[in-house]
A and B are shown apart, each in its own frame.
Chain A
Amino acid sequence: MANMANEKVKMPVQDGIVRSGNFDEVALGYDEAMAVEEATRCLNCVNRPCVSGCPVKVKIPDFIAEVAKGDFKKAYEVIHETSSLPAVCGRVCPQETQCEQKCVRGIKGESVAIGRLERFVADWYRKNCKDALPKPQSNGHKVAIVGSGPAGLTCAGDLAKLGYHVSVFEALHVAGGVLMYGIPEFRLPKEIVQHEIEGLKQQGVEIECNTVIGRSESIDELFEEGYEAVFIGSGAGLPNFMNLPGENLKGVYSANEFLTRCNLMKAYQEGVDTPIQRPEKAVIVGGGNVAMDAARCAKRLGVKEVSIVYRRSMEELPARKEEVEHAMEEGIQFCLLRNPVRVLGNEEGWVKGVECVEMELGEPDESGRRRPVEKENSNFVIEADCMIMAIGTSPNPLIRSTTEGLDTNRKGCLITDESGKTTREGVFAGGDAVTGAATVILAMGAGKTAAKAIDEYIQNK
């Protein structure tokens, strides 16, 4: 008989005030008893709606059944069949709009805590099982992957399982892409990301860092070197700005810069060489997960007042609800229906304030959300010595400008069919490089789909 409790087993978390002063992980994870208890809430329904909500099609009821039995190792093996990065997904997937949204238990109460269970299983396995999974037998074919973010790693993992010799090329000095430079330590510890990547290496995936495809080597040269297919998962790295007057003042950063300094370069730690500004008052512009990450990093760096300025209302805020709640608990202020129009500087060229206007919501625009409209004469100034722009990113032009035959749309995103095939033979793509800035799990889904298409392409050649 299933456990009919209407609520999820609570996730232990660090207290809001305490954690806003450290970079340790916010959510602490289930223990074994909590996991088993939560797992018994799963009804193991016949039509498995949760699986249809998962971009990488994790066999959710099957792994949860193993958790309920207490066979955590088996549970891990079930997840690992379809997901290369379970410890990452369990932490950063927006489960509430994917698997958990489809969960039957969610109709009368809370859905089964699929994400928390996935995280538990991955963490348990990492702590308890040191043996490498068996290395698949080689099929003699070579595939190159550009970018070691979630799309590239998933594609690499799936192809390696099929016996392909996979080489991943990464521009930065460490693999992981946005998992390393973007998502903060307190949401996704970097040690966990590296552990997942080690797992892929044990499966035979080769990772070459410090290699910028488009500069160090071209896609054409990869083919000349004997790679039979190339997957481009180079992300949407280029930060957008608003072209406001004063936007190039000192103290104005893209969220990418601020987060890269903090996460990839670990500027928050003692004994690390990369500097980071430690302002008094910071304004973060934007309402997505990246804005929440930047705001929460700023708080942890000791910024006294952190305000999020977003042009729509709470309802339209694109960040995950959990992230917004966490940010609020940590004392981040939300200035909603406000939009910056000008950045004010002092005589030394530093930001001293952000001039904003009030907004109201008008008719829905093409995105279906109500279009924010400026209220006349509503200008006001928020004092700040730091401003972080978290208003999205665009795909990096490096690859499309150095590769013939790759069509892009007007935003610079690579054009692919639903299997990830680009307009050039043998070249596949997925993740933010195709969709523009989106989520980790959608990128993983695209990497997975492309891996299947690459396998079919090479096998039918």
Chain B
Amino acid sequence: MYTILQKERLNPTVSKMVVSAPKVAKKAKAGQFIILRVHENGERIPLTIADYDREQGTITIIYQIVGRTTMLLDQLTVGEAILDFVGPLGKPSEIEGLHKVCVIGGGVGCAIAYPTAKALYENGAEVTVITGFRNKDLVILQDEFQKVCKDLHLVSDDGSTGKQGLVTNVLEELIQNGEQFDEVIAIGPLVMMKFVCQLTKKYEIKTVVSMNPIMIDGTGMCGGCRLSVGGKTCFACVDGPDFDGHAVDFDEAISRSSSYRNEEQHAREATCNLLNKEA
């Protein structure tokens, strides 16, 4: 039983859950993900492991309420259980040998960026973090990031919190001010990662991105999560989710991510109606 031990709303659309999953916790590493299913007729969705506690046997997940499954997940309360919860899946992030790293999190991508920043920090690296959000209401994990980095930069699209601008503005400023990063790790919306990669390519800084495509099994079986990396087809679930950002075909990934947009919208509306009725 994957019992929910804690649940916290981080912003109006993002929640955090601490789930009892001792076997997953025993093996989890930064960069890996789990797949969960909420009910018997539910779909399987991948979520990145935001944190883990091997002793307590818990996994922390942070999810944005975007569609039917995350809405249903968000209906569950402390003490209730998630039906299926499998992991850790994917390859852990490679953090060895990195001394000076810039970790960039965009929106709910911060949930994935945080464990990576933490792992780097615990491994002795000097970590700079840039987080970007649409507005002040959506900001998450600032206290957590603060504890695992040298510098924390916050930007928002509308300037309602932190500096107004994009994560790429801050990154370029840092680079121009002479910061020399071994690597940039960017995790967030596909468009953000694409532009970070364009920028770092210009400055020839190795950049790793974490891809989160549509997935069913998460073990290499369905091929739904495939993407082109350096002209080769890779499966995000077994070859990733981390990839060399300069080799990823982002336009293709952006296109593929919309494969079920109509169906998803339908399901979301139906679920909204259902939940409203129940409320």
Contact = CB atoms under 8 A, between A and B. Distances in A.
Interface string A198-234: 0000000000011110011100000000000000000
A173 B37 contact: yes
Interface string B61-72: 000000011000
A256 B222 contact: yes
Nearest to B224: A257
B252 interface: yes
Interface string B124-168: 000000000000000000000000000000000000000000000
A215 B227 contact: no
Contacts of B44: 173, 265, 274
Interface in A94-124: none
B76 interface: no
A238 B43 contact: no
Nearest to B259: A250
A269 B83 CA distance: 20
B194 interface: no
B9 interface: no
Interface stretch (A239-247, A317-325, A375-383, A417-425): A239-247
Given A173-B86, A275-B260, A254 B219 contact: no
Interface in A172-208: 172-173, 181
A44 interface: no
Contacts of A261: 216
Interface in B203-227: 216-217, 219-224, 226-227
A273 B68 contact: yes
Nearest to B37: A173
B227 A210 contact: no
A247 B223 CA distance: 12
Contacts, number: 116
B228 A248 contact: yes
A13 interface: no
Contacts of A171: 86, 217, 219
Interface residues of B, number: 40
A288 interface: no
B221 A265 contact: no
B41 A271 contact: yes
Interface string B82-96: 011111110000000
A265 B24 CA distance: 23
Contacts of A257: 216, 222-224
Interface in B222-238: 222-224, 226-228, 233, 235, 238
Interface in B36-67: 37, 41-44
Contacts of A398: 219-220, 238
A251 B258 CA distance: 11
B23 A237 contact: no
A266 interface: yes
Given A248-B226, A265-B43, A397-B238, A216 B88 contact: yes
B228 to A, nearest CB: 6
B247 interface: no
A212 B256 contact: no
A272 interface: yes
Contacts of B227: 248
A273 B69 contact: yes
B244 interface: no
Contacts of B27: 215-217
B222 A212 contact: no
A243 B258 contact: no
A244 to B, nearest CB: 10
10 contacts: A171-B219, A173-B37, A211-B86, A212-B86, A212-B219, A217-B23, A238-B223, A241-B233, A256-B222, A349-B252
Nearest first, the 4 closest Cβ-Cβ pairs linking A and B are A349-B255, A275-B263, A254-B223, A257-B222
Given A241-B223, A253-B223, A349-B252, 13 more contacts: A171-B217, A210-B85, A215-B87, A216-B86, A217-B23, A217-B27, A237-B220, A238-B220, A248-B227, A254-B223, A271-B41, A396-B238, A398-B219
